[in-house]
Amino acid sequence: MRITNQQKKQLFDIFEGNRLNLIDFEISDSYQEFEIISKFDYFSFTVRRNDINEYQITVLSIHTTRAGTTVMIWDQVLIRFRLWLKEIKAELNTPNSWETFKNENYLNTGFNDLNQSFSKKEKESTRRSLAYIKEKIKTLDVSLDTLKIIEQKLEELDTKMDKLKKFDWKSLFIGTIASLIMSLGIPPESAGMLWEMIKSAFSGLKLKE
């Protein structure tokens, strides 16, 4: 029994509808079996036709590296393929906040900051940036309690600007944000947006004189 061209087209239409890049996947296509494999990860989806309306699928998803095999009818294959692609798309499109945090120097931290205090002008600029972040975080998909905690920590950071050297304050700021993301369980998409807000807030800020 073969997987028909019409059925393969149904799979392709679902793939195309998710706006993924076909160049990132390898396709293995025989008359009885169809397989799509990610070139850069372990994700894969294989469907094999056993009988007139009996199909065996083997899936490696983002949640497990052990292949799960199930027998189902064609309509169920389409549903499972759509779900698999949805999971893959969400994973590939979600920024890794820890990688972003590790690779970005958001506050232009440098050696000269070790023993320098904030100037009056720098305090004013930094406080405007904190106010901008407090306003923007209201758009995040997090609970009201989480928002209140973030706002409270931003207010604490504001007051500590008068006591800490620039290097110490910048380190405290980045550490506080990273700890909040981890301890509050902020979802990856919202965490990525938060880092982008911080990047935007401090992009025009010069804390070096």
- Same domain for 65 and 136: no
**Quick one: 31 and 69 in the same domain?**
yes
Domain count, the chain: 2
76 and 113 belong to one structural domain: no
- CB neighbours of 82 closer than 8 A, spacing ≥ 6? 14
Among 40, 69, 93, residue at a domain's last position: 93
Of the CA atoms within 13 Å of residue 196, those in its CB half-sphere come to 12
pLDDT score recorded for residue 205: 46
Strand 33-38 with 54-60, pairing: unpaired
> How distant is the alpha carbon of residue 209 from its chain centre?
35
Q: Give the orientation angle of helix 120-136 with respect to helix 188-202, to 10 degrees.
A: 150
Q: Helix 144-160 crosses helix 120-136 at what angle (to 10 degrees)?
A: 180
Distance of CA 32 to the CA centre of its chain: 36
What are the φ/ψ torsions at residue 70 (nearest 5 degrees)?
A: -140, 150
Instruction: Say whether both 115 and 184 belong to one domain.
Output: yes
Tens digits of residue pLDDT in 156-174:
999 999 988 888 888 888 8
Q: Average pLDDT in the 143-154 region?
A: 94
Which two three-digit tokens encode residue 1? 């029994």
User: In this model, does residue 206 exceed pLDDT 60?
Assistant: no
- Is 38 part of any domain? yes
Q: What is the pLDDT of residue 108?
A: 55
**Across the chain, what does the average pLDDT equal?**
85
Report CA Rg, the chain.
Answer: 24
| pLDDT tens-digit map of 52-104 | 899 999 999 887 778 889 999 999 999 999 999 998 888 877 766 555 555 45
Asked, for residue 207, whether it belongs to a domain, the answer is no
Domain of residue 186, residue span:
97-202
